[in-house]
Structure 1
Amino acid sequence: MIGNLLTMDPKVADYLTGHHAAAMITLRPDGSPHAVRCGIAVVDGKLWSSGTAARKRTGLVLRDPRCTLFVFGSSPDDSYSYLSLDTRVSILDGPEAADQNVALFTVMQAGLNPPEGSLFWNGKPLPLEQFRQTMIAEERLIYQFEIIGSYGMF
């Protein structure tokens, strides 16, 4: 399957596991781009990001699932590296979305060393159950990216 890290170019997969900052570029109805910064991570071999039902990009993706992800270099040592991904986006917004967000943020925050049993939200650690309840209250969902093509300097 395209987009699963087990079948993708190992160099792309390696870059994605170490880089969590991206720009998500969707298409407005007139074809013009709409770009926002987002966090991404590989969870169980799938590339995910978090959003909400009310976000503009959610509506744009529901209308047209094509999306470009621009993945930034993660440190001064690789500040000029980048990876561009042509993707199709699926939205995961079922009853498991809160737990999927916990899994996503656990991967994204691994290097930040949140206190045990918690994840950071708005700069403060929240116990996992409180974090999960926050995901539910905010109607958080997951954007899942099927990678169609990739290019860049990475």
Structure 2
Amino acid sequence: MELNDKQRTFLESHHAAAMITIARDGIPKAVRVGVALVDGRLWSSGTQERVRTRRLRRDPRCTLFVFDQAYSFLTIEGTVTLLEGAYAPRDNLRLFRAMQHRPAGPLNWYGEELDEDAFLTRMADEHRLIYEFAPTNAYGPA
């Protein structure tokens, strides 16, 4: 399923989301994440050790609830592919440039300004990966 222009426009300016994964006992679990479109693909960042990563390895189904500061939202249901390995730090650089609207220069990481090399090193040290969402359904007034 392709997101429509209105949904893509919403995602270009709204990066706050709740990511809902499915626990082993079938109970949905939600966590706050950041999301952004990178080259037309919907991405979020995580680490290899995160509980949600383990859940997605077992069951790739996921729901995103992307929201603004008022009452507009976009819900996206789909599956997740984990993008990891040698390219993951560079993919995270692209993702965070999109989320922070900084096509060049330093990036903010937990209140610290990091130049590109330091950012890439931090992503590798943290074993960061990318969650790539393949939407199967999307709805909301966005």
TM bracket, shorter-chain basis: over 0.9
Tell me the residue number matched to 2:85.
Answer: 94
Tell me the residue number matched to 2:135.
Answer: 147
Tell me the residue number matched to 2:121.
Answer: 133
Aligned length: 142
Q: Note the alpha carbon deviations across 1:17-37, whole angstroms, 9 max, x for none.
A: 111000000000111011100
Q: Note the alpha carbon deviations across 1:43-70, whole angstroms, 9 max, x for none.
A: 0110000000000000000000000000
Of 47, 56, 61, which aligns to 1:61?
Answer: 56
Q: CA deviation at 1:14?
A: 1.1
Q: Hey, what's the Cα distance between the residues in 1 that align with 2:32 and 2:89?
A: 21
Q: Does 1:50 align with 2:41?
A: no
CA RMSD of aligned residues (A): 1.3
Q: Hey, what's the Cα distance between the residues in 1 that align with 2:122 and 2:30?
A: 25
Tell me the residue number matched to 2:97.
Answer: 106
Tell me the residue number matched to 2:10.
Answer: 15
Q: Which SS does the other structure have where 2:35 is aligned?
A: strand
Extract structure 1 runs of 4+ deviating beyond 4 A: none
Q: Hey, what's the Cα distance between the residues in 2 that align with 1:23 and 1:120?
A: 21
Of 121, 125, 143, which aligns to 2:109?
Answer: 121
Q: Hey, what's the Cα distance between the residues in 1 that align with 2:117 and 2:97?
A: 13
Q: CA deviation at 1:117?
A: 2.1
Tell me the residue number matched to 1:83.
Answer: 74
Structure 1 unmatched ranges of 5 or more: none
Kept in 1, the 8 Å contact 2:14–2:67? The answer is: yes
Q: Hey, what's the Cα distance between the residues in 2 that align with 1:119 and 1:135?
A: 12
Kept in 1, the 8 Å contact 2:3–2:138? The answer is: no
